[in-house]
Amino acid sequence: QQQVKQSPQSLIVQKGGISIINCAYENTAFDYFPWYQQFPGKGPALLIAIRPDVSEKKEGRFTISFNKSAKQFSLHIMDSQPGDSATYFCAASISGNTGKLIFGQGTTLQVKP
C-alpha cells in the first residue's frame, strides 16, 4: 500500500510535443504529491508539487493533474524542449510526519530536436 507506480519507464517526444507521465497510488493518507526532475550526474530536484485539495496545478509549461477518486496523478510537459530531457520521479507523502517520500520508479524522457 506504500507503493507509487509510475509509467511509462521511458518516453521519447519530438520538440514542441506534449510529454505525459502517469503515477498511481493506493494509500489514501497521502496528501502531498511532488514531481522531481533529475539530470545526468545530478541529484533530483523538486519540479512541481500538488496537494489533493486542487485538481490541477500549473507552473509554466509544467502541469500536474490530480484525480483523487482514481488515486492517480500525472505530469504534463507542454511544448517539450530538448532541455527537458531528464529523468522524472513522482512521489507521495503524508504531511505531518518527518517528510518520508515514496518515490515512483522514474521515467526517462528524451526530447528530440
Partner 1 sequence: DAGVIQSPRHEVTEMGQEVTLRCKPISGHNSLFWYRQTMMRGLELLIYFNNNVPIDDSGMPEDRFSAKMPNASFSTLKIQPSEPRDSAVYFCASRPGQGRSGEQFFGPGTRLTVL
The position carrying cell 500538488 is: 50
Q: How far apart are the first and last CA of the chain?
A: 40
Closest distance between partner 1 and the C-beta of residue 28, in Å? 17
Segment interacting with partner 1, rule: CB under 8 A, options 13-21, 35-43, 55-63, 75-83: 35-43
The amino acid at 106: G
CA distance 14 to 16: 6
Closest distance between partner 1 and the C-beta of residue 3, in Å? 12
Q: By the criterion CB under 8 A, which residues form the site for partner 1?
A: 32, 34, 41-46, 49, 51, 89, 93, 95, 98-101, 103-106
